[in-house]
């Protein structure tokens, strides 16, 4: 069994809720509540969920942009959260992040050539004379041209800025790329361009993706394995084909049926959930989804369902499966 | 000069000469971005600044005052400041355009010489307070922790003490310790900057705190950039516009404070002229009523300079305010 | 079905330091009674500005409705004086926006915000208005309406706030509801709820909806009639089934092809090359020409007009001009 590139074991990230003058901790926002994911090299894993699901927090905690509360994160066998700051800095080029907002993820006062190339210099990955070539190569791989190199972010459109963000991550030759909603802020026609770019890069460079999104149709296109999160917990994980053909968890079924499909007058079984997504400060007891689940039983209210293999590497956390 | 230096740093000394049309994303009502041709930030901001007639006139007045005070005396035949009692307290006439003072010295020349001192003190104290304030504020905002606590408590202390009385105490001490008048000017600069660096530090720290959380700084962390690069290449360029505006407005305040101090005899002492102590020379009812040429020229100079600086500073702020850029 | 609103030659320009932006350029369409019309397009196409122009929300200086006529129940909205317009807004024409968080006043209780149009337009007194407000909150699917009526906006989630927005909008039983990207900021399961609710309200009251969106899936679910905009102009319009099954304009075709659809996987997504043109640099031509795979010489120099090519289907494209194609 080849060593997994990324191993997330029982990850928990709780944010304290404070009250009063002395900032007493009165509770916790359980943003990530026992999540386990394994990524093999070359795999693309899609992490899907709505607001409050904790999917973005998972991404950031993996990269140690924020500290974990419990659990283990191993990148190529190395425990990320036990590294010293210097060791962490050294390993960063191998795991990169692509942000959602193309407008705020680039420093408006730094020319994009510098923005892309500076990490190379700081890590001593190449000499000063080689930097320009590496930057040009990354720009080209992302569909931008060389005359863009001395420009500022405000001169580019949203789609182009996202390409710049991708080039910035790519130039370091990472093995793992975590993409946090990278196309959500883009227009439909540009989304398609960027999705294709992700696909092409993955094939040509053998990248491993953790693709975070709320949009199942995007994730279906790019990912080989998909995990569905709700309020910090993993509800279902399966290969792409399995998940779409045979969704087992009621939440997954509801998600799939809620996505508007561009076929007018389409007759399909709609599961419209009742109520709102509960607040992560006060999640429901037992199965977190029971308050909105059309099939909820007594046991769902009282016991947390176990995340088990329902066969075919298809994992679900539901009492009714 | 410092301001110009900062301005150059801010806008970069390379201009992009692209002739290729630049695409932009117009979302509904928001303003569309640049078009083809020279599109550097500098030119954009400069164009906008030039449209603000008030700011431009402020700038012109400031330049005029500087020119008058630093170049003017070269054309005056009265720069030796000789005391001539025969010419005492004469009203303005063809030989002395602004009249003479109690010691027979030409007012116009004195105003210009005083301007040199007042403007220099104002500028120098601004440079010092920006340097100290920005440095400490940046350290406090970036590193947080103990450094932040110490620096901010000292700043808070200084901020809670009203500045003018504090300056008066310093000024009185200067006289007590019989500091030679030549050195007083430099000490006054120091005093003024001690009193105004906390305000600077606070603002810079605030900017730092909010910038640190911006997504491009998170990106910098993920890229594994070194602290030095994060501070100088990423954070500093975003703070400079604020610094420029604050520095400009600070000069006006410094000139005013120095004038007040010197008026009360606690700042720069005669015979070195400053606008403040020139006004003091008209500190009695007779001079005030019957010889307005003694105090109006220096008073007007302070007034005009400070207002012009403030107007220009406001214009700068309108142009460099990041909220306007999008 | 008769016409409820008829827009003729609407043009709204924005005057910026860099030049004039024709956000809406000679747009004409109509909304019939009981019909849902969707305006679909990407950022910068002018769909939101169209909605704002109808409601009179375009402010001078900076923006101005320069030409056009909006015929609503026999009167031209653009020529109305302020008071008449105010009597119509919230009463006969209502609008809901994309961000419910910023559309509600954070310091006024929910109940009072719903009561406001009832008191102002329907001249109810406070008691009657409160009863009706509670009813409305129930109607938009919120449980414990009395409690919600006494809450403040920050205590509610995005989905609930949007429901409240809808409650305020339908309070006076408007003839037309303008919804500007009402579900874009919401989660997909909440979106499904809101769209269902809008459909139900429409079926029950015969209200017309003008729905602005960029999501073709939402269009397919909600629309009776679709208008596709690009760079301030209408490039295609038609009944929803026809438009989706038989798109005529290359842009519409491109949009439909490039949207990833569940269970319809492709190896590579079709994507429209290039970008939306800079609105300050538009020249007389078909604005889509530099991204169009069927671009012909005439497309670069002349702007195609919107022509009817089938019953209730119109396109603005040189491919459908008989004379040109066969030239």
Query: What are A150-169's pLDDT values in tens digits?
Result: 888 988 888 999 999 999 99
B247 close to B130: Cβ distance less than 8 angstroms: yes
Q: What is the pLDDT of residues A60-97, one digit of tens each?
A: 999 999 999 999 999 999 999 999 999 999 999 999 99
pLDDT surpasses 70 at A138 = yes
| Helix B215-223 / helix A112-122 crossing angle, nearest 10 deg | 30
Q: What is the pLDDT of residues C211-239, one digit of tens each?
A: 999 999 999 999 999 999 999 999 999 99
Confidence band of B181 (pLDDT split at 50, 70, 90): confident
Lowest mean pLDDT among B10-14, B285-289, C253-257: B10-14
Largest CA distance in chain C: 71
Mutant choice from B27, B28, B216 vs A, greatest count of A C-beta within 10 A: B216
Is the minimum CB–CB distance between C193 and chain A shorter than 8 Å? yes
Q: What's residue B103's pLDDT?
A: 81
Interface of C with A in 131-160 (CB under 8 A): 157-160
A73 close to A81: Cβ distance less than 8 angstroms: yes
Percent of chain A with pLDDT over 70: 99
Is the minimum CB–CB distance between B145 and chain A shorter than 8 Å? no
pLDDT surpasses 70 at A204 = yes
The CA-CA-CA angle for residues C282, C283, C284, to 5°, reads 125
> Which residues of chain B are within 8 Å of residue C43 when distances are taken between CB atoms?
25-28
Return the SS3 of A231: coil
Closest to A90 (Cα-Cα) out of A125, A61, A57: A125
Question: Which residue has tokens 């459909």?
Answer: C199
Q: What's residue A9's pLDDT?
A: 94
Average pLDDT score, chain C:
90
> Which residues of chain C are within 8 Å of residue B47 when distances are taken between CB atoms?
17
Q: What's residue B20's pLDDT?
A: 26
CA distance B22 to chain A (A): 6
Closest to A17 (Cα-Cα) out of A6, A25, A8: A25
For chain A, count helices (H), then strands (E): 10, 12
Q: What are phi and psi of A66, to 5 degrees?
A: -140, 150
Q: What's residue B5's pLDDT?
A: 45
Highest mean pLDDT among A246-250, B26-30, B291-295, B296-300: A246-250
DSSP states along C171-229: TT--SEEEEESTTTTS-HHHHHHHHHHHHHHHHHH--EEEEEES-HHHHHHH-SEEEEE
C-alpha C77: how far from chain center: 17
Is the minimum CB–CB distance between A51 and chain B shorter than 8 Å? no
Q: What's residue C31's pLDDT?
A: 94
Determine whether the interchain pair C16/B31 forms a contact, defined as Cβ–Cβ distance below 8 Å. Answer: yes
Across B291-315, average pLDDT = 89
> Which residues of chain C are within 8 Å of residue B36 when distances are taken between CB atoms?
281
Is the minimum CB–CB distance between C217 and chain A shorter than 8 Å? yes
Confidence band of B150 (pLDDT split at 50, 70, 90): very high
Q: What's residue C261's pLDDT?
A: 87
Is the minimum CB–CB distance between A248 and chain B shorter than 8 Å? no
Q: What is the pLDDT of residues A15-27, one digit of tens each?
A: 998 887 777 888 8
CA distance A239 to chain B (A): 29
C12 close to C64: Cβ distance less than 8 angstroms: yes
Higher pLDDT, B81 or C88: C88
Percent of chain B with pLDDT over 70: 85
The residue of chain A with its CA nearest to that of C40 is A188
Cα gap C48→C12, rounded to integer Å: 11
The residue of chain C with its CA nearest to that of B22 is C278
Q: What element of type H or E holds C51?
A: helix C47-55
pLDDT surpasses 50 at B324 = no
Q: What are phi and psi of B162, to 5 degrees?
A: -60, 135
Q: What's A4's DSSP letter?
A: P
> Which residues of chain C are within 8 Å of residue B23 when distances are taken between CB atoms?
275-278
Structure tokens given for A238: 């399966």
Is the minimum CB–CB distance between A92 and chain B shorter than 8 Å? yes
B241 close to B324: Cβ distance less than 8 angstroms: no
Q: What are phi and psi of B272, to 5 degrees?
A: -60, 120
Determine whether the interchain pair B222/A172 forms a contact, defined as Cβ–Cβ distance below 8 Å. Answer: no
pLDDT surpasses 90 at A133 = yes
> Which residues of chain C are within 8 Å of residue B51 when distances are taken between CB atoms?
17
Lowest mean pLDDT among A271-275, B152-156, C37-41: A271-275
A241 Cβ partners below 8 Å, 6+ apart? none
Question: Which residue has tokens 């070539």?
Answer: A133
Across A178-204, average pLDDT = 91
- Residue A119 has its nearest CB partner, among B41, B215, B225, at B225
Cα gap B281→B266, rounded to integer Å: 14
Is the minimum CB–CB distance between A50 and chain C shorter than 8 Å? yes
Across A124-130, average pLDDT = 89
- Residue B33 has its nearest CB partner, among A105, A110, A155, at A155
Q: What is the pLDDT of residues C231-273, one digit of tens each?
A: 999 999 999 999 999 999 999 999 998 888 888 877 788 888 8
Cα gap A133→A23, rounded to integer Å: 52
Cα gap A153→A109, rounded to integer Å: 8
Higher pLDDT, C213 or B12: C213
Q: What is the pLDDT of residues C93-112, one digit of tens each?
A: 999 998 888 889 999 999 99
Structure tokens given for A58: 């998972």
Chains that touch C (3 or more CB pairs under 8 A): A, B
pLDDT surpasses 60 at C66 = yes
The residue of chain A with its CA nearest to that of B14 is A150
Confidence band of B90 (pLDDT split at 50, 70, 90): confident
Chains that touch B (3 or more CB pairs under 8 A): A, C
Confidence band of C324 (pLDDT split at 50, 70, 90): low
Determine whether the interchain pair C260/A157 forms a contact, defined as Cβ–Cβ distance below 8 Å. Answer: no
CA distance C306 to chain B (A): 23
Q: What are phi and psi of A318, to 5 degrees?
A: -155, 135
Across A164-180, average pLDDT = 95
Q: What's residue C325's pLDDT?
A: 54
Across C187-212, average pLDDT = 92
Q: What's residue B40's pLDDT?
A: 60
**Sheet with C19-32: strands ordered across:** C19-32, C3-16, C63-72, C75-76
> Which residues of chain B are within 8 Å of residue C277 when distances are taken between CB atoms?
23
Positions of E strands within chain A = 6-19, 24-39, 44-48, 70-75, 78-79, 95-98, 176-180, 208-213, 225-230, 233-239, 307-309, 315-317
Structure tokens given for A201: 């890069």
Question: Which residue has tokens 């997330």?
Answer: A8
pLDDT surpasses 60 at B19 = no
Contacts 24+ apart (CB under 8 A), B209-213: B209/B141, B211/B235, B211/B238, B211/B239, B212/B141, B212/B142
> Which residues of chain C are within 8 Å of residue A244 when distances are taken between CB atoms?
262-263
CA distance C240 to chain B (A): 25
- Residue A97 has its nearest CB partner, among B22, B41, B222, at B222
The residue of chain C with its CA nearest to that of B27 is C44
* Torsion sign across C-alpha atoms A62, A67, A69, A73: positive
Is the minimum CB–CB distance between B26 and chain A shorter than 8 Å? no
Q: What's residue B124's pLDDT?
A: 93
Cα gap C216→C236, rounded to integer Å: 14
Question: B79: how many CB neighbours lie within 10 A of its CB?
Answer: 15
> Which residues of chain C are within 8 Å of residue A257 when distances are taken between CB atoms?
192
Return the SS3 of B124: helix
B43 Cβ partners below 8 Å, 6+ apart? B15
CA distance A263 to chain C (A): 6
Instruction: Considering only CA atoms, give the Rg of chain A.
Output: 21
Is the minimum CB–CB distance between B32 and chain A shorter than 8 Å? no
* Residues in chain B whose Cβ is within 8 Å of chain C: 21-29, 31-32, 34-36, 47-48, 51
Across B96-122, average pLDDT = 86
Determine whether the interchain pair A165/B18 forms a contact, defined as Cβ–Cβ distance below 8 Å. Answer: no
> Which residues of chain B are within 8 Å of residue C281 when distances are taken between CB atoms?
21, 35-36
Q: What's residue B41's pLDDT?
A: 66
Mutant choice from A53, A192, A244, A293 vs C, greatest count of C C-beta within 10 A: A192
C283 close to C293: Cβ distance less than 8 angstroms: no
Determine whether the interchain pair B48/C17 forms a contact, defined as Cβ–Cβ distance below 8 Å. Answer: yes
Determine whether the interchain pair C260/A220 forms a contact, defined as Cβ–Cβ distance below 8 Å. Answer: yes
| Helix B41-51 / helix B53-71 crossing angle, nearest 10 deg | 90
pLDDT surpasses 80 at B30 = no
Q: What is the pLDDT of residues B56-86, one digit of tens each?
A: 999 999 999 999 888 888 888 877 777 877 7
Positions of E strands within A20-129 = 24-39, 44-48, 70-75, 78-79, 95-98
* ω into C142 cis (within 30 of 0): no
Determine whether the interchain pair C262/A218 forms a contact, defined as Cβ–Cβ distance below 8 Å. Answer: no
* Torsion sign across C-alpha atoms A157, A159, A160, A166: positive
Is the minimum CB–CB distance between A184 and chain C shorter than 8 Å? no
Largest CA distance in chain A: 68
Lowest mean pLDDT among A238-252, B83-97, C163-177: B83-97
pLDDT surpasses 60 at C133 = yes
Closest to C16 (Cα-Cα) out of A151, B20, B326: B326
């Amino acid at each position: 069994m080849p060593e997994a590139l990324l191993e997330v074991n029982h990850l928990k990230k709780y944010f304290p809720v404070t009250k009063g003058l002395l900032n007493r901790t009165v509770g916790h926002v359980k943003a990530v509540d026992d999540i386990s994911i394994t990524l093999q090299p070359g795999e693309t894993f899609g992490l899907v969920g709505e607001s409050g699901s904790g999917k973005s927090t998972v991404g950031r905690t993996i990269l140690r942009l924020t500290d974990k509360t419990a659990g283990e994160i191993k990148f190529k066998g190395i425990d990320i959260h036990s590294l010293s700051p210097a060791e962490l800095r050294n390993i960063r080029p191998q795991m990169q992040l692509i942000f959602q907002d193309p407008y705020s993820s680039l420093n408006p006062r730094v020319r994009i050539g510098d923005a892309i190339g500076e990490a190379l210099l700081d890590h001593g990955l190449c000499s000063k004379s080689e930097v320009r070539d590496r930057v040009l190569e990354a720009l080209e791989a992302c569909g931008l041209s060389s005359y863009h190199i001395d420009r500022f972010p405000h001169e580019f459109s949203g789609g182009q800025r996202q390409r710049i963000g991708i080039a910035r991550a790519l130039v370091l030759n990472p093995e793992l790329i975590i993409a946090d909603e990278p196309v959500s802020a883009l227009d439909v026609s540009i989304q398609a361009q960027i999705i294709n770019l992700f696909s092409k890069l993955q094939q040509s460079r053998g990248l491993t993706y953790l693709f975070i999104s709320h949009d199942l149709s995007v994730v279906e296109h790019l990912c080989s394995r998909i995990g569905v999160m709700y309020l910090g917990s993993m509800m279902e994980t399966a290969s792409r084909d399995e998940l779409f053909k045979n969704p087992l968890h009621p939440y997954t079924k509801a998600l799939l049926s809620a996505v508007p499909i561009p076929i007018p007058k389409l007759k399909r079984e709609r599961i419209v959930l009742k109520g709102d997504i509960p607040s992560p400060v006060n999640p429901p007891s037992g199965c977190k989804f029971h308050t909105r689940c059309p099939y909820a039983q007594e046991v769902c209210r009282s016991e947390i369902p176990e995340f088990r293999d329902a066969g075919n590497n298809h994992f679900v956390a539901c009492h009714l499966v | 000069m410092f301001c110009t230096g900062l301005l150059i740093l801010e806008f970069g000394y390379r201009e992009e000469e692209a002739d290729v049309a630049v695409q932009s994303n117009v979302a509904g009502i928001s303003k569309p971005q640049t078009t083809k041709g020279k599109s550097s930030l500098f030119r954009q901001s400069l164009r906008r600044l030039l449209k603000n007639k008030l700011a431009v006139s402020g700038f012109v007045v400031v330049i005029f005052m500087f020119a008058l005070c630093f170049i003017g005396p070269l054309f005056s035949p009265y720069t030796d400041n000789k005391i001539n009692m025969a010419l005492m307290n004469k009203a303005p006439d063809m030989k002395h355009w602004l009249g003479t003072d109690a010691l027979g010295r030409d007012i116009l020349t004195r105003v210009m010489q005083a301007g040199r001192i007042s403007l220099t003190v104002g500028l120098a104290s601004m440079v010092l307070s920006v340097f100290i304030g920005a440095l400490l504020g940046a350290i406090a905002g970036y590193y947080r922790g103990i450094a932040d606590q110490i620096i901010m408590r000292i700043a808070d202390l200084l901020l809670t003490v009203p500045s003018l009385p504090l300056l008066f105490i310093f000024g009185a001490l200067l006289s007590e310790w019989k500091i030679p008048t030549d050195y007083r000017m430099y000490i006054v600069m120091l005093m003024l900057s001690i009193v105004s660096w906390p305000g600077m530090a606070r603002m810079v720290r605030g900017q730092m705190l909010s910038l640190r959380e911006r997504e491009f700084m998170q990106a910098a962390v993920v890229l594994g950039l070194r602290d030095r690069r994060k501070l100088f290449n990423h954070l500093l360029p975003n703070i400079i516009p604020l610094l420029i505006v604050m520095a400009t407005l600070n000069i006006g305040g410094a000139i005013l404070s120095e004038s007040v101090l010197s008026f009360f005899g606690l700042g720069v002492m005669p015979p070195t002229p400053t606008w403040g102590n020139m006004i003091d020379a008209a500190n009695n009812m007779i001079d005030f009523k019957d010889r307005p040429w003694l105090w109006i020229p220096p008073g007007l100079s302070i007034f005009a300079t400070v207002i012009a600086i403030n107007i220009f500073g406001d214009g700068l702020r309108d142009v460099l305010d990041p909220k306007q850029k999008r | 079905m008769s016409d409820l609103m008829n827009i003729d030659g609407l043009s709204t320009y924005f005057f910026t330091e860099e030049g004039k932006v024709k956000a809406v350029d000679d747009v004409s369409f109509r909304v019939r009674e009981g019909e849902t019309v969707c305006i679909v397009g990407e950022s910068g196409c002018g769909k939101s500005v169209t909605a704002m122009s109808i409601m009179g929300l375009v402010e001078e200086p900076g923006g101005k409705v320069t030409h056009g006529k909006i015929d609503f129940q026999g009167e031209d909205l653009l020529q109305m004086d302020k008071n008449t317009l105010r009597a119509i807004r919230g009463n006969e024409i209502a609008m809901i926006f994309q961000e419910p968080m910023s559309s509600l006043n954070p310091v006024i209780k929910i109940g009072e915000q719903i009561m406001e149009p009832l008191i102002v337009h329907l001249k109810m007194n406070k008691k009657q208005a409160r009863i009706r407000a509670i009813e409305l909150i129930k109607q938009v699917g919120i449980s414990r309406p009395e409690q919600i009526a006494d809450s403040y906006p920050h205590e509610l989630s995005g989905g609930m706030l949007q429901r409240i927005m809808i409650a305020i909008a339908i309070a006076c039983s408007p003839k037309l509801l303008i919804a500007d990207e009402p579900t874009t900021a919401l989660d997909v399961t909440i979106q499904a709820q809101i769209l269902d609710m809008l459909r139900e309200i429409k079926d029950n009251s015969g209200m017309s909806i003008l729905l602005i969106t960029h999501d073709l899936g939402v269009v397919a679910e909600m629309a009776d009639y679709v208008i596709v905009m690009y760079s301030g102009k209408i490039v295609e319009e038609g009944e929803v089934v026809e438009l989706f099954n038989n798109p005529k304009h290359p842009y519409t075709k491109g949009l439909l092809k490039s949207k990833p659809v569940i269970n319809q996987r492709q190896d590579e997504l079709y994507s429209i090359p290039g970008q939306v043109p800079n609105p300050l640099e538009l020249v007389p031509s078909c604005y889509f020409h530099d991204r169009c795979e069927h671009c012909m010489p005439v497309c670069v120099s002349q702007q195609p007009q919107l022509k009817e090519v089938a019953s209730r289907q119109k396109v603005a494209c040189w491919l459908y001009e008989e004379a040109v194609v066969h030239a």
